[in-house]
Amino acid sequence: MHPAWMIRICLLLATISLSACGGPDNADDGGAGIGGPSSDDGGSTDKGPGTDPGSDASATDKAPAPEPIKTTVLPGKGVELDQGSLKGLLAVGAKAADARKLMGGDGKTDPELKDNPFVRVHAEFDMRLVFLDKDGDKALSDGDVLNRILVGPAAKAKLGGTSMAALDKASIEKEMGVKPEGADTIGTASVEYWFTKGLTATYENGAFKSVTVYAAQKVIPKADIEYKNLAIGEPLSIKADLQNGTSFAALEGELGAPDIIGQENRLKSHTWLSLGLTVLNAQGGDSTQVIILIRPWLGKLKGTDVRMGSKKADVEKALGKAEKTKQEQGQTLHLYKMKSVPVINIPQYLALIYNEKEELATVMLNYVEAR
């Protein structure tokens, strides 16, 4: 097996997950607010020549009507732009060249994400675009694909009939037409998911922070993690095994096309970013040998209350301490032996990775040490 490759994929997933849950920084409007700066006339009541400050004419003066909001967030599809020179559908799945043309440029990278070239901030529109590196050159290029779009409260856009500035939990649920299909808490942020509609809403200390638009998913990632069997439970039933794991074709039929299909030498990987799921085969085959899970996977370790984000102490209360740890690519894997490969007696592990807050961040099923 290739443990280093597993860690590299985990780090990729974690970066995308962070950008999806963090939401864009609000555009800096210099403190002016949505309506723009108000002029300070030093308290003067002079309205200009020919106008009596006490007359009815001044009392009936009205501010210009606000410009109607036309840009629309479309769950599962993208953002229909209609703002000044920005016009057209910024679609999930669009090529980077087309997104650049619509947005009038690539935007800026985010220092908080170590200037990841595939996360682009358009602060003036309070939008953030996340791309996938399709050609493997580790730089944003024309053929890379837009995977998700984050839109913040300062954007001159609307979800349904509600402006971004007016959105809250109640109005988002109303516009979506159904209750969330899942929810999570990440630090001070709370997240609500509509996986099958292609939208996630993020709140910070209860206040709306962003919506994320991505391709609608065929399933909701809340099946139990049957860690003792190195599998994911019903209704998905995904098995990790060196010889008889679930086929990639069967997974594509059930989950839809993966966001990323990777191959280097004999290692193959399929990743569904919006589910937090990667499957690997390290021997050139087309079946699942290893399963990797991160957020937004919502399922628990079967028979426990352990899930993504659980504290290490709570995990160890449920599972006991790991049998051993192993360092890979700057990460510490906590290994629990579940069984062994028949005949050759190679240990097969449940491997757990915690973040800097000692919260469960990654679950690997059927981790096998390199030999």
Altogether, the residues listed in the chain come to a count of 371
The confidence score (pLDDT) of residue 20 equals 44
Q: Are 92 and 214 in contact (CB under 8 A)?
A: yes
| The total number of structural domains that make up the chain | 2
- Residue 17: which H helix or E strand, with range? helix 3-22
Whether 233 and 205 share a structural domain: no
The confidence score (pLDDT) of residue 329 equals 82
**Can you tell me the distance from the alpha carbon of 296 to that of 217, in angstroms, rounded to the nearest whole number?**
12
pLDDT in tens, the chain (371 residues): 444 555 555 555 554 444 444 333 333 322 222 223 233 333 333 333 333 434 444 444 565 656 789 999 999 999 999 998 899 999 999 999 999 999 999 999 999 999 999 999 999 999 999 999 988 889 999 999 999 999 999 999 999 999 999 999 999 999 999 999 999 999 899 999 999 999 999 999 999 999 999 999 999 999 999 999 999 999 999 999 988 999 999 999 999 999 999 888 888 999 999 999 999 999 889 999 999 999 999 999 999 999 999 999 999 999 999 999 999 888 999 999 998 877 677 899 999 999 999 999 999 999 998 76
- Establish whether the linkage from the previous residue to 235 is cis, with ω within 30° of 0: yes
Whether 209 and 224 share a structural domain: no
Whether 203 and 320 share a structural domain: no
The confidence score (pLDDT) of residue 259 equals 93
- Per-residue pLDDT tens over the stretch 92-111: 999 999 999 999 999 999 99
Domain contains 11 = no
Task: Mark which of 164, 188, 213 sits at the end of a domain.
Answer: 213
Question: How far does Cα 128 stand from its chain's mean position?
Answer: 11
Tell me which residue range forms the domain holding 99.
Answer: 70-213
**Can you tell me the distance from the alpha carbon of 355 to that of 259, in angstroms, rounded to the nearest whole number?**
24
Whether 117 and 226 share a structural domain: no
3-state class (DSSP) for residue 267: strand
48: exposed, middle or buried (C-beta count within 10 Å: 0-12, 13-18, 19+)? exposed
Whether 187 and 267 share a structural domain: no
